[in-house]
Chains A and B, each alone.
Chain A
């Protein structure tokens, strides 16, 4: 993080799956494993998995949420989930 430019709101950011992360589908959602940090992260809802997988194909988080038909009422919860996935480095900012 450079800290020089203010980070845009999450909905406008271009996120993607970290290249060192593998996703494995599971009945509850998916398991993510980060080969660099050796950390295992649980994605606890299939819809979160769908959105995570869609991020790379969309210019913004908002675009991915819309493409996955996530109702606006659920966006706040999804933003929290995505934020935690950024913190665990499952997701990263794609260079634009």
Chain B
């Protein structure tokens, strides 16, 4: 396995895990949104441009894409693009808040081969979920899952996914999430909260405490084979002798990348920032050239220094953690993960606080005007 991981660090001929945010438009305004979504970007790829990208991904033999947003179903050509992708042999997994899945759309989704749906949910009750994802979003997600269930999605396409970002406030609900997934014949997917996008401002209040990180690790040791994680918790491997299931490496620019709604290619979905932009699919040579030849990706595929963590006995287990988490908390990329389980990150976060780069590409909706209280000064 180790030899394989070394190979993967050197990069693949095409990404394994390619996320494509189709739009920055979203009906919700989740406080941890990694892409600061809300408003559509006028430079968004057209239908024809998006299909041209899918043609390139087909030529590169990309097996599947992860479609996200924003809310991807807001795009009027959503089904057209999904059908085109599947027609070209590229499977589609897409993330949605479920607002646009009615009975009719659920039947349409259930009728498609090679399609996975991930419904985002951050609490097993409305109170917990809506605090992060907005009023009414819990009911919306449940309704969408009911529609998928009624449409026979699970019987025909296999389990849809319930996708959870683990926070300080829902970490105690992991068993409940799994029970909820089981009740639908669905599968649970849990991922790590990153200080990306609007998450940069909320991460400090939402990220799990160190004691809760132990709780997540222990839970995953028991449930890990049944639960998807996007391999996002590998920094927790430093907690014990046993590694969590998964590849245990930062895949940014190596096996993972992001195409954003305007065609910019970033090293991973959590680093929407100029420093990690490798190129644009509209450039000559398209996505393939960016993936194979960008200077940034070449650098990320070189052996990385363990830096400040070189003397730590756990480095082999945690690999220094998540690049995006370090970047947006002002920690050098060869420094400790801000959630280093040995506590090495806490001081680094304090030191880095003032210097943390701000996320770019903010598409948040303008703040609502606050009601003016008349007659009082």
Q: A residues touching B (Cβ–Cβ < 8 Å)? A: 22, 24-28, 31, 33, 35, 38, 40, 42, 44
Asked whether B293 is an interface residue with its Cβ less than 8 Å from the other chain, the reply is: no
Given contacts A22-B89, A33-B63, A35-B91, contact A44 B4 (CB under 8 A): yes
Interface residues of B in 1-24 (CB under 8 A from A): 3-4, 7, 10, 12-14, 16
Q: Are B10 and A38 in contact (CB under 8 A)?
A: no
Given A33-B63, A38-B116, A40-B63, A24 contacting B7 (CB threshold 8 A): no
Residues on A with C-beta less than 8 A from B12 are 26-27, 31
Does A27 lie within 8 Å of B10, measured CB to CB? yes
**Chain B contact surface mostly:** loop
A-B contact pairs, 22 of them (CB 8 A): A22-B61, A24-B14, A24-B61, A24-B63, A26-B13, A27-B7, A27-B10, A27-B12, A27-B13, A28-B3, A28-B4, A28-B7, A31-B12, A33-B64, A35-B63, A35-B91, A35-B113, A35-B114, A38-B64, A38-B158, A40-B63, A44-B4
Q: A28 to chain B: which residues have CB within 8 Å?
A: 3-4, 7
| Complex Cα spacing A25 to B114, Å | 22
Knowing that A26-B7, A31-B16, A40-B63 touch, tell me 7 more A-B residue pairs with CB under 8 angstroms: A25-B13, A26-B12, A27-B10, A27-B12, A28-B7, A31-B63, A35-B63
B residues contacting the other copy or chain, number (CB 8 A) = 17
A33 to B34, alpha carbons, bound, how many Å?
28
Smallest distance from the beta carbon of A95 to chain B beta carbons, Å?
23
CB distance from A43 to the nearest CB of B (A): 10
What is the chain A residue whose CB lies nearest that of B13? A26
Chain B neighbourhood of A38, CB < 8 A: 64, 91, 116, 158
Closest residue to A24 on the B side, CB-wise? B61
B contact residues around A31 at 8 Å (CB): 12, 16, 63
Contacting A at CB under 8 A, from B310-350, are: none
Q: In the complex, what distance in Å separates the CA atom of A40 from the CA atom of B228?
A: 13
Residues of B near A35 (CB, < 8 A) are: 63, 91, 113-114
Complex formed: what's the CA distance from A40 to B7 in Å? 16
Cβ A22 vs Cβ B13 within 8 A:
no
Task: List residues of chain A with CB within 8 A of the CB of B14.
Answer: 24
Give the chain A neighbours of B3 by CB distance below 8 A. Answer: 28, 44
Tell me the smallest distance from the CB of A65 to a CB of chain B, in Å: 23
Residue of B with least CB distance to A31: B16
| Chain B: minimal CB distance from A84 (Å) | 13
Residues of chain B lying within 8 A (CB to CB) of residue A44: 3-4
- List chain A residues, Cβ under 8 A from B63: 22, 24, 31, 33, 35, 40
CA separation between A42 and B64, bound complex, in Å? 16
Query: Nearest chain A CB to B10's CB is how many angstroms away?
Result: 7
